[in-house]
Amino acid sequence: MKTIIANRYSLLHKLGEGGMADVYLAIDTILNREVAVKILRGDLATDPVAVLRFKREATAALTLNHPNIVQVYDVGEEEGQHYIVMEYIKGITLKQLISKRGALDKQEAVDIMKQLVGAMVHAHKNNVVHRDIKPQNVLIKDDGTVKLTDFGIALAQNVAQLTQADAVLGSVHYLAPEIARGEAASEQSDIYALGIVFYELLSGNVPYQGEAPVQVAMKHLREEIPSIREFNPTIPQSVENIIIIATAKNRINRYKNTSAMASDIETCLDPMRAHEAKVVFENLVKNDQPTLVLKTNDKPDPKVKQKEQLSMDRLLAVSLIAFAIVSLAALLFLTGFGPFNSNVESVTIPDVHKNTIELAKMQLENEGLVPASTYKYDWSYDVEKGKVIGVVEGIGNKIDSGSEVTLIISEGLLYKVENYVGRDADEVLALLEEKGVKVRIQRRYTSEYPANTVIEQAGLVEGDEIKTSVYNEIRLTISMLSEMEVPNVEGLSVEDAEAELVSYGFLVEKIRLDANELSEGELAIIGIGVVTQQYPKEGEPVSIMGDGIVELYYY
C-alpha cells in the first residue's frame, strides 16, 4: 500500500481496523499536523455497497461542523483507493472507558450525554440520522471532550446486518425496535440508541444481553428496559425518566426530537427535580409507585386494544417472519438479485443548494440517483460561481431511484441595484466593491445632506439587475463639508492627482517646473509628470466653496 496519499498525507502507522476500513495516523505535510486517514479496504474497493457506505459517511460528515463531532478535512479517491481524512483524536473510545471503569458517576455520565446529545441535535438539524450510535463510535479526549464519529451506516445495511451474526454484535445492543422489525430509521431511532448508551454509562452494562444477536433483538422488541434505579437507588428519578422516554418501545412515546432530550438532560440533576414522579406510559401503569402518565394524541381504539391482547408468542412470531422477509428483501436489493430488481423505489432529491459539484454528486449517488454528465448553467442571487444552485428536477421532489438528475451550476452572482441616495457613502462604496461594481465619484457641497452622504447616482439605477463577474459602472455624487483637509497626492501622476482632488471638489492649478534644472540622475529618480510638491500640504484645511485652490508642482 502507498505510504503517501494525494501527495500530501504521509501514513505513519495503523491506529485500528474495522470491517470495512483501516484507520492510520498520518501527517498532513502541507499544514504540518497529525490527521487520521480512513482507507477503504482494498477487497471492498469494487463493492458498490461498501463504496456507497464509505461515500455516505464522507458526505454526512462534510455537512456537519460541531465541537462534539469528529471533523472531516478531506475526501478523495486515488488509484481506486477511497480515503477520508479526519481530525485525529488522542484518547480512547467510550466503550473502552466503560470497560475500564464500569458504571460512571451520574454527574460524569450526564456530562458525557450532554455533549453526545448536543452532537446529534446538530446532526438532526442538518438532516443526518446517524443510525449506529454506540460507545464504540464515541471518542473521549484526554480533557473529557466527547467526539462522535462514523456516520457511514446505511438503513438498508442496518436491516441486513441482523442476518449477519459477525457484523451485528457491535450494533444490535443499541438497535431500536422499529429497526429490528425492518422499519425505516429516524431521529427517534437515534434517540433510542442514546437512551441505551445513557443506561450503559450508569450501569456499566447494556440492558439487553443474549448468546446470539437475534436473542438481543427479540428483547428490544418485547422487554421493557430494566430500572436503572434498581441497579443504583441514588440515581434520581429525573435521570431514569430520560432513559424510559428515550427507550420507549413505541417511537411516538419518545422525545419528539433530540433538542427536547437535550433540554431534559440539561436540568435532570437539578435539586428541584429530585422527587419527580416516574414516567409510565398509559398501558404500563403500576400501582405501587407515583406515576406521571404520558398519553398519545389519539384515543385508543377498542379494536386496537383487543389486538394488543394477542399472545406475545404469536406477535413475536409475526414480527420475526416480517423481519426475515424485509431482511431478505434488503439483501436481494443490495446484491441486485431477485424480483426486487424490477421494482422501482421512489426517493427524495436531496438538498444540494450551495454545495460543491463533487459533494452534490455524492449526495445524489447516496440516494441512488445518477448525476447527469452535463450541467445546466444559470446566474444566482446567493450561490457563488461554480457551486450548485439546484437541480432541474427540483430539490425535495420524489423521483424513481436510478433516475438521472441534472445539476444547475452558478455562472456567478446576480445583484439587484438599490437606491443609494441618502445612505452613508462608506457603506455604499463597501457594498459596491464587494459586488465588483466600478464606482466613479464626484464630491459636492450641499446643505441638504450630512457630509459623506450619497446625493446622486447615475449609470445604474434602482432595480437594475447586474452580473457581478462582468464590468459594471456606477456614478455617485457624495456630499462634503464646505471646508476639507487636503489629501496627499505627492508621488502620483499629475493626471491622477488632479482627478482625485477634483473628485473632492477642489480647484487644481498645475505648475510645471523646468526639468533642465535637474541632473539626469535626479530626473531619473523624480520622474517626468509626477507631482513632487503640493500646496497646501496634506491635512491643511481648504475651502471648497469655489476659491479653494490646490497647487501641484511637477517636472
Strand, helix or coil for residue 2: coil
The residue-averaged pLDDT of 263-287 equals 79
Compute the C-alpha angle 491/494/498, nearest 5°: 110
Residue 487 clears pLDDT 60, i.e. is over it: yes
Residue 307 clears pLDDT 70, i.e. is over it: no
Specify whether 517 is located in the same domain as 398: no
Residue 284 belongs to some domain of the structure: no
Alpha helices in 223-356 (DSSP H): 228-231, 237-246, 258-267, 302-307, 312-335
Q: Does 154 or 87 have the greater pLDDT score?
A: 87
List all residues 6 or more positions away from 125 whose beta carbon is below 8 Å from its beta carbon: none
Residue 104 clears pLDDT 90, i.e. is over it: yes
Residue 499: which H helix or E strand, with range?
helix 494-503
pLDDT per position as a tens digit, 172-226: 899 999 888 878 788 999 999 999 999 999 999 999 998 888 888 889 988 999 9
The residue-averaged pLDDT of 338-356 equals 74
Specify whether 112 is located in the same domain as 259: yes
Tell which of 356, 389, 414 closes a domain: 414
Compute the C-alpha angle 428/429/431, nearest 5°: 65
For the ranges 248-257, 332-341, 528-537, which has the lowest average pLDDT? 332-341
Residue 309 belongs to some domain of the structure: no
* Exposure b/e, 380-415, CB count within 10 A at least 16 = b: beebeeebbbbbebebeeebeeebebebbbbebbbb
Tell which of 480, 504, 533 closes a domain: 480
| Residue 307 to residue 245: CA distance in whole angstroms | 24
Specify whether 460 is located in the same domain as 515: no
Instruction: Give the pLDDT band (50/70/90) at residue 119.
Output: very high
The residue range of the domain holding 422 is 417-480
CB contact at 8 A, 64 and 122 = yes
Specify whether 360 is located in the same domain as 225: no
- Give the chain's domain count: 5
Residue 281 belongs to some domain of the structure: no
Strand, helix or coil for residue 415: strand
Helix H, strand E, coil C: the string for 206-243 is CCCCCCCHHHHHHHHHHCCCCCHHHHCCCCCHHHHHHH
Residue entry with cell 450641499: 446
| Residue 402 to residue 371: CA distance in whole angstroms | 10
Specify whether 7 is located in the same domain as 52: yes
Residue 433 belongs to some domain of the structure: yes
Give CA separation, 371 vs 318, 341, 499, in Å. 40, 21, 54
Helix H, strand E, coil C: the string for 375-399 is CEEEEECCCCCCCEEEECCCCCCEE
Specify whether 144 is located in the same domain as 36: no
pLDDT at 322: 53
* Options 43, 47, 105, 132, the catalytic residue: 132
**What DSSP designation does 56 have?**
H
Specify whether 135 is located in the same domain as 267: yes
| Residue 535 to residue 486: CA distance in whole angstroms | 9
| Residue 86 to residue 72: CA distance in whole angstroms | 4
Residue 241 clears pLDDT 80, i.e. is over it: yes
Predicted TM-score of the model (pTM)? 0.52
Specify whether 427 is located in the same domain as 536: no
Under the phi-then-psi rule, with left for phi > 0, alpha for psi from -120 to 50, and beta for the rest, what region is 99? alpha
Q: Does 57 or 304 have the greater pLDDT score?
A: 57
The radius of gyration of the chain's CA atoms, rounded to the nearest angstrom, is: 34
| Residue 174 to residue 197: CA distance in whole angstroms | 7
Instruction: Give the CATH number of the domain where residue 43 resides.
Output: 3.30.200.20
Taking alpha carbons only, the member of 534, 445, 454 closest to residue 486 is 534
Strand, helix or coil for residue 515: helix
Residue 143 belongs to some domain of the structure: yes
Strand, helix or coil for residue 308: coil
CB contact at 8 A, 410 and 385 = yes
Specify whether 189 is located in the same domain as 242: yes
Instruction: Give the pLDDT band (50/70/90) at residue 314.
Output: low
Write the single-letter amino acid at 37: V
Residue 404 belongs to some domain of the structure: yes
pLDDT at 305: 42
> Do the bridges between strand 549-554 and strand 507-512 make them parallel or antiparallel, or are there none, so unpaired?
parallel
Tell which of 414, 440, 470 closes a domain: 414
List all residues 6 or more positions away from 394 whose beta carbon is below 8 Å from its beta carbon: 349
CB contact at 8 A, 437 and 420 = no
Residue 492 belongs to some domain of the structure: yes
Specify whether 401 is located in the same domain as 421: no
Residue 243 belongs to some domain of the structure: yes
Instruction: Give the pLDDT band (50/70/90) at residue 309.
Output: very low
pLDDT per position as a tens digit, 363-378: 898 888 999 988 988 8
Residue 187: which H helix or E strand, with range?
helix 187-203
Start-to-end CA span in the chain (Å) = 70
Specify whether 236 is located in the same domain as 152: yes
Specify whether 491 is located in the same domain as 379: no
Instruction: Give the CATH number of the domain where residue 374 resides.
Output: 3.30.10.20
pLDDT at 286: 40
| Residue 58 to residue 61: CA distance in whole angstroms | 5
pLDDT at 547: 61
Active site residue 111: no
Rounded (10°) angle between helices 94-101 and 187-203: 30
For the ranges 41-55, 250-264, 379-393, 449-463, which has the lowest average pLDDT? 41-55
Residue 159 clears pLDDT 80, i.e. is over it: no
Strand, helix or coil for residue 16: strand
Residue entry with cell 424485509: 326
| Residue 226 to residue 78: CA distance in whole angstroms | 49
Residue entry with cell 407515583: 290
